Amino acid sequence: MHSNSSIYVAGHRGLVGSAIVRALESKGYTNLLLRTSSELDLRNQEAVNDFFKNHAIEYVFLAAAKVGGIVANNNYPAEYIRDNLLIQTNIIDAAYRTGVEKLLFLGSTCIYPKFAPQPLKEEYLLTGSLEPTNEPYAIAKIAGINMCQSYNRQYNTKYISVMPTNLYGPNDNYDLTTSHVLPALIRKFHEAKKNGQPVVEVWGTGQPRREFLHADDLADACLYLMLNYEGSEIVNIGVGDDIPISELAELIKTIVGFEGDIVYNTSVPDGTPRKLVDVTKINGLGWKARIALEDGLRSVYGMFLENELIAKK
């Protein structure tokens, strides 16, 4: 992949896609193809096919997806399986038909069985039942993995699939209905502090453990794998360490400066008890995460405050 290679980043305005764009630009890649959803509806097969036919795309980072937390997955299961199947199918097939050199597909660790042994090894895929709250999304992602593997086998393409753990970073989603746990907690504690509320409610028991990877670390890993890995076997991307949600809440509470209490709403489902990925494979390939959780949280909260100030102007 050369500095002037034609590179399409699907989903470039999202958490993952924007981080990949930053990583590519910082490394001197200048020929980036970027389209918003209003400019190119990735669910529309004809539009996607035309886009690929009209541009000599050499490399694809497939970061576009419909994503959300437990509430959104529970409320909109049809949209989560339909939209994700359409997006990834259209792009992967168009990449093959137009001779794209290499494609990287972003999956998710929710593809692993709910009660799989910890840490999650790549070979645990399809060895048990999924977590029901995000099963439609997970099934779509599993289909994307298999599609990449099938095209590699039948057409000798070079499509790789990576499974990032829970992510956070710039351009995260802070909507309390559709966001994941970390940005939701940042917003909850910030608004409680601002409004003088005595209590912040955290969903679930606080006992599930989660691993958190900064989006810039993920982007660095994706670029590293695009340059250094070929194979149909999936690759986990994570930090190799996790914490209970209760500890995450206390850490965010401290960073935000909220002085009230935390209460846990145990009527809300916890989801998967633990999701720690085994990073032996990617570490063996020569890549390791670098951004510590507390440092990353302080950075994203600073950006959250800046964006709030900008919104007020």
The response to whether 205 counts as a known ligand-binding position is: no
210 is in an annotated binding site: yes
Residue 191 CB coordination number (10 Å): 14
* Residue 250 · residue 200 · CB < 8 Å: no
13 annotated as ligand-binding = yes
Is 158 part of any known ligand binding site? no
Residue 137: what residue type? Y
Question: Are 82 and 59 spatial neighbours (Cβ–Cβ below 8 Å)?
Answer: no
Q: Report whether 165 belongs to an annotated binding site.
A: yes
Judged by phi (left if over 0) then psi (alpha if -120 to 50, else beta), residue 169 lies in left
Q: Does 103 carry a binding-site annotation?
A: no
List all residues 6 or more positions away from 23 whose beta carbon is below 8 Å from its beta carbon. Answer: 216, 219, 220, 222, 223
The structure tokens listed for 245 are 């949600």
Spell 2-24 as b/e; 16+ CB within 10 A means b: eeebbbbbbbbebbbbbbbbbbb
- The response to whether 180 counts as a known ligand-binding position is yes
Residue 31 marked in a binding site: no
Point out the catalytic residue in the list 8, 80, 112, 137: 137
Is there a binding annotation on residue 213?
A: no
Query: Could you give the strand order of the β-sheet that contains 243-244, starting from the edge strand earlier in sequence?
Result: 243-244, 209-210, 274-275
Answer yes or no: is 270 a known binding residue: yes
Active site residue 159: no
Q: Are 215 and 11 in contact (CB under 8 A)?
A: no
The answer to whether 109 is annotated as binding is yes
Residue 17 assigned ligand-binding role: yes
Q: Which segments are annotated as binding site? A: 11-17, 106-109, 141, 164-167, 180, 188, 203, 210, 270
Q: Which residues are annotated as part of the binding site for substrate?
A: 188, 203, 210, 270
Q: Which residues are catalytic?
A: 137
Per the annotation, where are the binding residues for NADP(+)? 11-17, 106-109, 141, 164-167, 180
